Amino acid sequence: MKKSKSIQYRRAGVLINLLSLILFCYLFEVSLGYSITTLIIVAKILLLIVLALSFWLTYVRTGIWKQVHLPKHKLDEREVLVIYDALRWSYSIFSIFVLCLIYIFLFLGRNIGAVTAAGLIYFAHIIPASILAWKEKMI
């Protein structure tokens, strides 16, 4: 595992990653009913690049992604408790977020698009690592 980055670096990475995910999904949902322009295509590509780059720098290079996905028998007792706590929080956050999003889409009379559904799957996978990146001083 690579050296752990500072908590400020990881928090900024988490915020950039989540913001680019939200903007990417939002741009796809908003642009569904309109003609596609070069500006929209460039914005989508740039957001996808920022999303991928921030994922790599925040989760992969810091080792948080690997830490969250290690089998239980390779972790010590403290690490198991920390990851369990992150998973517990992540499922609570995800459940509330998805329910609110579903109600927003129902209120607006729209269906959730495939890109937003894929974004929710990605979001579900990064929440535990995001919580660890945000809370833990050293990973």
pTM: 0.87
pLDDT band, very low/low/confident/very high, at 4 (cuts 50, 70, 90): low
**What does the mean pLDDT of the chain come to?**
90
pLDDT band, very low/low/confident/very high, at 128 (cuts 50, 70, 90): very high
Which phi and psi angles does 136 have, rounded to 5°?
-80, 130
pLDDT digits (tens, 9 = 90+) for 14-30: 999 999 999 999 999 88
Section 70-94 average pLDDT: 91
Per-residue confidence (pLDDT) for residue 1, from 0 to 100:
43
Residue 68 in this model has a pLDDT that exceeds 60: yes
Calculate ∠ Cα 100-8-135, nearest 5°.
55
Q: Return the DSSP state at 60.
A: I
Say how many CA atoms lie within 13 Å of 41 toward its Cβ.
Answer: 4
Per-residue confidence (pLDDT) for residue 30, from 0 to 100:
87
Section 59-84 average pLDDT: 90
Name the residue ranges covered by the structural domains of the chain: 7-135
Helix (H) or strand (E) holding 14: helix 7-30
Per-residue confidence (pLDDT) for residue 131, from 0 to 100:
94
- Select the more confidently predicted residue: 99 or 34: 99
